[in-house]
Amino acid sequence: MHFSQRAYLGHMSRRAFLSGASALAFAAPLAAREYRGGIPWEPNAAVPPEPFDPSARFLTADERSFVTAAVDRLIPADDWGSASELGVVDFIDGQLAGAYGRGDIYYMEGPFEDGLPTQGYQAQAPALLYRQAIADIRQGLADADQPDFIELSPEDQDTLLMALSEGESDLEHTDGKTFFDTLWQNTLEGYFGDPVHGGNRDMEAWRMIGFPGARYDYRPWIDHGGKPLDFEPVSVGGRLVQ
């Protein structure tokens, strides 16, 4: 086995394990993963972040409209950009199209039950959670002769989101609070995460709060004494990402 393949072995999913796909990709004699007599090292073996791929999409156009409207209520525009203006919808869509959305490293075996509030995430994989929840919410509005979510007033959108967050909205196929919590968490990730993943456009969210990003040496400023510091942020993808 080539050492540069090793990153992928670490997160080989249950699916790959069970299907035997790994055996095709990584067939190797036992001794290949034996280390003896020194530190294994070879040049250029670092594993950089996977850059955002704008062509990786999971959401349908209607679902994207829903997510756009919802995340812009969670983080609306003011002097600083809204969630969607900073790329949060692109971030979420890209995440749902990949390993995260599929739940590759999560335990996704049944039986699925709702569980107690203390028992954590009990929904299907995140991509399916989004699909089921959005469909259920839209169907619920239609059944109540309400306008579609994206047509609701901002106040009504907030009321609906708040009800989901409080666990007061029963959805037919999945858990409303789990959906809200997941959407909120993903929104924070897209808004405040490194722009290399598709959100936080131009590092605007970092500028808004004064977070300098992927800097790694603050020794000259340890003794700041409570005075604000002012750094230009940087990304793990470099200063000019996006």
Partner 1 sequence: MTRIMPEREVVVVGFGWTGAIVAEQLTEEGMDVLALERGVWRDTSTDYAVNNAQDEVRYRYRDELFEDLSRETLTFRNESDQKALPMRMLGSFLPGTNVGGSGVHWNGQTWRFLPSDFQARSHNVERYGEDALPEDMTIQDWGVTYDELEPHYDRFEKLCGIAGKAGNLNGETQEGGNPFEGFRSSEYPNPPMDMVASPLKFADAARELGYNPFPGPSANMSRAYTNPLGVQLAPCTYCGFCEKYACGNYSKATATTTILPALMRRENFTLRTGAMVLRVEKDGQNTRATGVTYITDEGEEVFQPAQMVVLCCYITHNVNLLMQSGIGQIYDPETGEGNVGRNYAYQAMSGASVFYDDFAVNPYVGAGALGMAIDEFNGDNFDHTGLGFVGGGYIATWQTNGRPIESHPVPDGTPKFGAGWKKAVRDNYNHTIGVGAHGAVMSHRGNYFDLDPTYRDAYGRPLMRLTFDFKQNEIAMSRYLTEKVAGIANAMGGREVSVSNMKVPYDIAPYQTTHNTGGHIMGETPADSVTNKYNQSWELPNLFLMGAGNFPQNPGYNPTGTVAALAYHSMAAVRDQYLRNPGPMVQA
- Which residues, 23 to 62, sit near partner 1 by CB under 8 A? 23, 26-28, 30, 33-41, 45-49
Distance CA 183, CA 173 (A): 17
97, 64 contact by CB (below 8 A): no
Smallest gap from residue 143 Cβ to partner 1 (A): 26
User: Of residues 108-127, which lie at the interface with partner 1 (CB under 8 A)?
Assistant: 108-109, 111, 113, 115-122
DSSP 192-232: HS-GGGS-SGGGHHHHHHT--BS----GGGTT-TTPPP---
User: Of residues 65-104, which lie at the interface with partner 1 (CB under 8 A)?
Assistant: 73-76, 78, 80, 99-100, 103-104
Nearer to partner 1, 55 or 225 (CB): 225
Smallest gap from residue 134 Cβ to partner 1 (A): 18
Instruction: Single out the residue of 65, 57, 58, 59 nearest to residue 138, CA to CA.
Output: 65
Nearer to partner 1, 55 or 119 (CB): 119
Smallest gap from residue 145 Cβ to partner 1 (A): 27
Instruction: Single out the residue of 187, 193, 152 nearest to residue 49, CA to CA.
Output: 193
User: Of residues 154-213, which lie at the interface with partner 1 (CB under 8 A)?
Assistant: 158, 161-162, 165, 184-185, 188-189, 192-194, 196-197, 205-206, 208-213
Instruction: Single out the residue of 44, 65, 97, 81 nearest to residue 195, CA to CA.
Output: 81
Nearer to partner 1, 149 or 206 (CB): 206
How many Cβ atoms from other residues are within 10 Å of residue 100's Cβ? 18
Q: Fill in the DSSP letter of residue 44.
A: T
Nearer to partner 1, 78 or 145 (CB): 78
- Residues in contact with partner 1, shown as a per-residue x/- string from 215 to 234 under the rule CB under 8 A: xxxxx-xxxxxxxxx-----
Smallest gap from residue 24 Cβ to partner 1 (A): 10
User: Of residues 128-157, which lie at the interface with partner 1 (CB under 8 A)?
Assistant: none
CA torsion through residues 135, 139, 142, 144, sign: negative
Size of the site for partner 1 (CB under 8 A): 95
138, 149 contact by CB (below 8 A): yes
